[in-house]
Amino acid sequence: MNTIFDSAECCLFDADIVRKLETTHQTQRLAKAGQLSFAETHPPRPIADTLFPDKPLLLMPRDMPRRRLHSIEGKAAFFHSLAHIEFMAIYLAWDIIYRFRGLPEQFYRDWLKIADEEAQHFELLSSHLLTLGIGYGDLAAHKGLWSHAEDTADDLLARLAVVPRCMEARGLDVTPVMIDKLKAMNDEAGVAILTRIYQDEVGHVERGSFWFNYFSKQHGLDPEQTFKDKILACYQGKPKGPFNRDVRIIAGFTHNEIDWLEERLHE
């Protein structure tokens, strides 16, 4: 029987995009059919061994070209950047499965579902890019996303604080604004894609919050204080606002956590 960790290893250490997507979807189908094993076979390989496609060219954020959304090139660049974020989210979901062992089976099932949804998001965005005259990899992309995984490779609480509860949670703040801009441009297809992604991301952040609280309490730690500690220790720079408080509450944040994030903006 296939194991979830074998699938994770295939996705993390094979640069082929098509095989990565197929393996992700097939593993979720096996899990739903009760045909997936969650038994460990061998320890995880180092995160430094992770393989990525040759394209896109990865640049530091300061080196990324700036384009206006209202130009054809700017619109293509906007959706390309979103496709890259979703592509890296597939890696991030698989890596949290692969790297952290001995956890409840439901934890792995939750992140497998997230990996599958991130793959669907990437496919939707990749198809939309083709209507704009480019493919994924034709433009440069942000280099910094994977560094958060590398920085938290040995600390599950830090990974949960930084990735779903900081990086991904930022999407809850900014995506409604993006959707409004696309509506103003009459991009119905783009609006539909971002709306689907937004709805799924609320669930992803909620799962991150749930498991962060679960493991904090399991270790006798106060979740709110631990969130602050991990962000201060592991997230470079200040979290960006403004914050979509109502949706963040739905996604498992507390008012105290959001208050603290808002205070950090003014330090």
- pLDDT higher than threshold 90 for residue 265: no
Q: Give the pLDDT band (50/70/90) at residue 54.
A: very high
pLDDT of residue 71: 82
Name the token pair of 246.
């109502």
User: 58 CB contacts (<8 Å, ≥6 apart)?
Assistant: 140, 141, 142, 143
- pLDDT higher than threshold 80 for residue 91: yes
Domain ranges of the chain: 1-151, 155-267
pLDDT of residue 60: 78
Whole-angstrom distance, CA of residue 142 vs CA of residue 248: 25
Whole-angstrom distance, CA of residue 73 vs CA of residue 267: 37
Q: Give the pLDDT band (50/70/90) at residue 215.
A: very high
Q: Which residue is associated with the tokens 């062992």?
A: 101
Whole-angstrom distance, CA of residue 37 vs CA of residue 88: 25
Q: Give the pLDDT band (50/70/90) at residue 53.
A: very high
Q: Give the pLDDT band (50/70/90) at residue 1.
A: low
Choice between 126 and 1, residue whose per-residue pLDDT is larger: 126
Compute the average pLDDT of residues 97-122: 99
pLDDT (tens digit per residue) in 132-183:
999 999 999 987 789 999 999 999 999 999 999 999 999 999 999 999 999 9
pLDDT of residue 5: 98
Task: Give the phi and the psi of residue 57 in degrees, each rounded to 5.
Answer: -65, 130
- pLDDT higher than threshold 90 for residue 225: yes
DSSP label of 47 = G
Compute the average pLDDT of residues 86-114: 98
